[in-house]
Amino acid sequence: MKIHIDIDSFFVSAERTRDKSLCHKPVAIGGRGDSYIFAPTSSNQSINLDNSGAFLGAFFQTYDPTQKDIEKFIDADGKIRGILTTSSYEARKFGIKTGMSIREALSLCPELIVKAPDMALYKELSSRLHNYLLNKIPLIEQASIDEFYGDLKGWVEDSEVAFFIDTLRHEIKRDIDLPVSIGAANSKAIAKLATNMAKPFGCKTVFAHEHVEFVTNIHIKNFPGIGKSMQKKLLSYQIDTLGKLLKSRGIVESWSPYSRTLYKQVNGEDTQEIKPLHVRKSIGISRTFDSIIDRAELRRRVIILSRHLSHALMRLNALPTTYHVGISYELSQRSHANISQYRLFNELWFRKLCLSLFYKADTHKHLKIIRLSISCSNFTCNSRRELSLIEFDSDLKQHKLSQLIRELRDLYGLDILRFASEISFR
């Protein structure tokens, strides 16, 4: 059978491993409260390269136990900013949800403890759990920072699976101090559904003969893989449960190749392998802020984002060939620009490229901008294309310089070297 392991309210559970006073209390973790990266003065930052799972922003302030966490979400103008990325089950009883603004959450539950995220801790616990699982189960796939799939075929007899996962759940709590929920079934999709139904700190095994009974009354919105638009479509056919979906095979399969795969998944068919290695396909950075009309200030922000992303790319030793800049304006307008370039990556060149893509993407120059994003993809090690040889010599020099800059920043922080054009004189 296949199993799915998910850490319960991961970021909160991680904080509880080092601060027991947070146990049994409404606790939430804030995110995106880092508008300080645009501040004209330096700040103390660390970098994180994982952009998977519940994780929203790439850069966070270094953990400082002396500072009160809520203060990290108060901007210069005294307003509380940011949204919640995780909340404890105690907090959820007050109606608190992921994605809710911190202000709204505090109005629902004034005693809510809001912690600043500490990605270094979460990454460390995530890789500890990963290594722990690799020792227990031969085939493990990490699906996100707090989610894993495992294949028990040839390892644990089907009749032993329920006992095996229940034991594993208690062992993980004992050895790593993290509460997890585990689901088991013949396919990844149903194992994940079983985990979701078992939460928090539970186990659920779904054998093939129990499959139909298990899914019958589950609402379609709870099935991982049924997104908003598919939900709408299904509901328009009065299909609101997985049981009804299974009875509507002809209709569902007639829509698209995707809906055919979806039917198989809900039907419990084993369509996806466990992939032990997670290959990174892209990396990006984005920030939302109060609307800005001043293009000079926006260019400054593009440069700052490009510096942060450049550092991440140098750390990954990745050579992207496709670059993307996205802009969100007020009034829900959006625009973007892409380019493919086969050049050896370096920071100076990347900064210029981002600025030119921003200029190209900025098609509504009279509108205020509320969000900027930059991303890179199609790494050359994956696509095996050759880099341009014309600029290779000068690029190589710049690439080496960028590597030196990276080493300096690893030692002294991301703000140790900044472009003069980033510094605002206002």
Footprint on this chain of Mg ion (rule: CB under 5 A): 6-7, 10, 146
The nearer residue to Mg ion, 86 or 187, going by C-beta atoms, is: 86
Smallest distance from the beta carbon of 383 to Mg ion, in angstroms?
33
Of the chain, the end-to-end C-alpha distance in Å amounts to 62
Nearest distance, CB of residue 192 and Mg ion, angstroms: 11
Residue the block writes with tokens 């900044």: 418
- Alpha carbons 424 and 367: distance in angstroms, whole number: 22
Nearest Cα to Cα of residue 358 among 335, 381, 378, 386: 335
> Using CA atoms, how far apart are residues 81 and 76, in angstroms rounded to an integer?
11
Give the relative orientation of helices 347-361 and 392-412 as an angle to the nearest 10 degrees.
100
| 90 vs 395 by CB, closer to Mg ion | 90
Name the minimum Å distance from CB 167 to Mg ion.
20
| Separation in Å, CA 265 to CA 188, 254, 426 | 9, 16, 57
Tokens of 209: 């003969």
Q: What single DSSP character describes residue 209?
A: G
Comparing CB distances to Mg ion, the nearer of 9 and 267 is 9
Closest to Mg ion by CB, 148 or 329: 148
351 vs 345: CA distance, rounded Å: 11
Closest CB 180 distance from Mg ion, rounded Å: 8
CB closer to Mg ion, 6 vs 362? 6
Task: Please check whether residue 344 is in contact with residue 395, taking contact to mean a CB–CB distance below 8 angstroms.
Answer: yes
Cα 160 off chain centre by: 34
Place of tokens 């979806």: 262
Enumerate residues 6+ apart whose C-beta is below 8 A from 75. Answer: 35, 81
Minimum CB separation of residue 87 from Mg ion in Å reads: 12
User: 3-state class of 65 per DSSP?
Assistant: coil
Name which of 13 and 375 has its Cβ closer to Mg ion. 13
Q: How far apart are CA 184 and CA 192, in angstroms?
A: 8
Which one, 14 or 206, has the nearer CB to Mg ion?
A: 14
Shortest gap between Cβ of 195 and Mg ion (angstroms)?
Answer: 9
Nearest distance in Å: CB 126, Mg ion: 11
Q: Report the nearest approach of Mg ion to the CB of residue 233 (Å).
A: 28
Tell me whether residue 150 or residue 326 sits nearer to Mg ion (CB atom): 150
Residue 183 class from Cβ within 10 Å (0-12 exposed, 13-18 middle, 19+ buried)? buried
Instruction: Give the residue carrying structure tokens 């030196």.
Output: 404
Which residue lies nearer to Mg ion by CB, 7 or 327? Answer: 7
Query: Of the two residues 7 and 102, which places its CB atom closer to Mg ion in the complex?
Result: 7
Query: Which residues lie closer than 8 Å to 138 by C-beta, 6 or more apart?
Result: 151, 155
CA–CA gap between residue 91 and residue 112 (Å, rounded): 7
- Give me 138's structure tokens: 């031969």
Could you tell me the smallest distance in angstroms from the CB atom of residue 363 to Mg ion? 39
C-alpha 114/C-alpha 104 separation (Å) is: 12
On whether the CB atoms of residues 353 and 359 are closer than 8 A, the answer is no
Task: Supply the minimum distance, in Å, between the C-beta of residue 146 and Mg ion.
Answer: 4
What is the C-alpha to C-alpha distance for residues 254 and 345, in angstroms, rounded to an integer? 46
Q: Using CA atoms, how far apart are residues 151 and 131, in angstroms rounded to an integer?
A: 15
CB of residue 199 to Mg ion, shortest distance in Å: 8
Q: Which is nearer to Mg ion, 122 or 349 (CB)?
A: 122
